[in-house]
Amino acid sequence: MSSVPNCAKPDSWKRILARAELAKSRRDAGLAVPPDANARAPEATIGAHPGIDFAQVSLTAVLPHWPEEVRAVPNGILRSALFGVVQRGRRRYLHGVAIAALDGVAIRYKGERLDQCDLTVWQSVLHAVRHQRIGSHCKVASYTLLKLMGKTDSGKNRATLQACIERLVATALTVQQGRHTYIGSLIASAAKDESTRSWTIELDPRLSPLFCRDQFTQLEWAVRRELRGHQLAEWLHGFYATHAKPFGFRVETLRRLCGSEAEIRRFRQSLGLALAAVAEASKAHGEKFRYTISEDLVEVSKAGTASQQRHLARRAAKSPSRRSA
């Protein structure tokens, strides 16, 4: 995927700010916000253009629009061990360590190790508040978040949700993805009304450049939901979803990137089962996912999303055409 965000052109900034101001004033007045009033400010927070107040842009930023049936996550997050494969009862505390990631992504992290359950909570929070301004106090009910996670509104699940949110608030990380580096936490702050069980969650608006075009992936939620409880399969689904046309990875490379602490022989066995689970869940929902494991090399073929196909087409168009022999 391209590492250069598709930021707004200078001549479009006045329109962006006008739509953002309209959206803000209508929200403050309790009125409905027209779809075209939600400025695509996430793509407008990088660069330097004269006469633009970037503090104002960040305060009116909203996440990109994505459909109800998907969950959006930055590519750099999915291509790393930040939300890794953590064995039950072995959640260690990491003190400012470098997290394994693909080339082009650099992550340093301080906090308890995060697993796939934490990722499900984070992407559910992003999904629930995606129509609200980043940086504002976003309101969302526990019931809504649990429903987005595919869980019932029970005491045990509410306790798990709160534990995950506490970890996400307590994180301290540096993420370099493309030209942008974010330093902060995954959730800036959170508060809960114990009587209504509703949450007030604040996201750092500086997260928004991680959601520029070609910088994030829309995960098919129906597939991931079927993989719930199988951490390695969930990680593989997210990792390969970021690739328009995956290339081969060695078993040891995948073990490192997912953060598994299993010894290589046991990991190889788990990997085969996890890939089979992803293939089966993908097929059940009309998604192509085929794989082969030859000696120590894993190769996957999948159908890219529409945006990934456009990315491949743009890359092919820029490549010099081969001369006829």
* CA atoms within 13 Å, Cβ hemisphere of 208: 31
Domain coordinates in residue numbering, the chain: 10-316
For residue 173 the two structure tokens come to 């990380």
Q: Is the pTM of this model over 0.85?
A: no
Strands (E), 18-156: 70-74, 83-84, 93-99, 105-112, 114-115, 138-141
pLDDT string in tens for the chain (325-residue length) = 433 334 443 344 344 445 555 555 555 555 555 544 444 333 332 233 333 333 443 545 788 989 999 999 999 999 999 999 998 877 899 999 999 999 999 999 999 999 999 999 999 999 999 988 888 899 999 999 999 999 999 999 999 999 999 999 999 999 998 888 999 999 999 999 999 999 999 999 999 889 988 899 999 999 999 999 999 999 999 999 999 899 999 999 999 999 999 999 999 999 999 999 999 999 999 999 999 999 899 999 998 665 555 555 555 566 554 433 3
CA dihedral sign, ordered 292, 227, 76, 114: negative
| 3-class DSSP state of 210 | helix
Paired with 201 in beta bridges are: 138, 190
Q: Are 248 and 299 in contact (CB under 8 A)?
A: yes
Q: What is the pLDDT of residues 148-162, one digit of tens each?
A: 999 999 999 999 999
For 4-49, what is each residue's pLDDT tens digit? 334 443 344 344 445 555 555 555 555 555 544 444 333 332 233 3
Convert 247-282 to b/e letters by CB count within 10 Å (16 or more is b): eebebeebbebbbbebeeeebbebbeebbebbbebb
